């Protein structure tokens, strides 16, 4: 599974299991959207958003070796609500942690969670969590 497919599948799982908006081809998100999902950096709207980025990969070169990827989820919350990104992160954790044999993933395990990302100029707090994904081996 290539990196773009992996990140897209993580986003699709979050859209499906959390009910968050995913619009890769538009239209643009508006503030009416509850939570917007982004491939990579988070855009300016909606206030509550999640960005998914690949940050590490380890493809075993030996026959039968596991392919491992790590993704970072960046959560941005509602203005002036420092607990908002934590609520989003908890929903994502419930959707992803322990996920097995779904979307081409053998298993998804949480990594470091709760890294504070500060507050932006619009008073929106952010945090980042990491997940390790082991890719299903192709069946012969």
Q: What is the pTM of this model?
A: 0.92
**Per-residue pLDDT at 93:** 98
Residue 12's contacts (CB-CB under 8 Å, 6 or more residues apart) are 22, 103
Segment holding 101, helix H or strand E? strand 100-102
pLDDT tens profile 87-108: 999 999 999 999 999 999 999 9
Peptide bond into 3 cis (omega under 30): no
Write down the domain spans for the chain.
3-135
Q: Please give the torsion angle defined by the CA atoms of residues 113, 135, 58 and 65, in that order, rounded to the nearest 10 degrees.
A: 130
Contact in structure between 35 and 20 (CB atoms under 8 Å) = yes
Contact in structure between 128 and 75 (CB atoms under 8 Å) = yes
**Per-residue pLDDT at 30:** 86
Distance CA 113, CA 100 (A): 20
Alpha-carbon separation of residue 6 from 38, 55, 108, 123 (angstroms) = 14, 12, 12, 32
Contact in structure between 74 and 81 (CB atoms under 8 Å) = no
Residues in the chain predicted with pLDDT less than 70, given as ranges, are 59-65, 138-140
**Per-residue pLDDT at 129:** 98
Query: Across the strands, what pairs with 40?
Result: none
Query: Which CATH architecture group holds 3-135?
Result: 2-Layer Sandwich (3.30)
Alpha-carbon separation of residue 129 from 35, 40, 83, 86, 137 (angstroms) = 17, 14, 15, 10, 25
């Amino acid at each position: 599974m290539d990196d773009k497919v992996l990140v897209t599948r993580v986003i699709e799982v979050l859209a499906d299991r959390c009910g968050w908006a995913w619009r890769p081809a538009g239209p643009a998100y508006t503030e009416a959207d509850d939570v917007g999902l982004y491939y990579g950096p988070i855009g300016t709207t909606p206030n509550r958003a999640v960005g998914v980025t690949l940050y590490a990969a380890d493809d075993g070169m030996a026959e039968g070796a596991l392919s491992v990827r790590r993704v970072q989820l960046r959560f941005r919350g509602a203005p002036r609500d420092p607990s908002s990104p934590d609520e989003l992160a908890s929903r994502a954790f419930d959707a992803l942690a322990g996920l097995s044999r779904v979307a081409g993933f053998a298993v998804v395990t949480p990594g470091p969670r709760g890294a504070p990302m500060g507050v932006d100029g619009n008073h929106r707090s952010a945090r980042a969590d990491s997940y390790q994904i082991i890719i299903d081996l192709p069946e012969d």
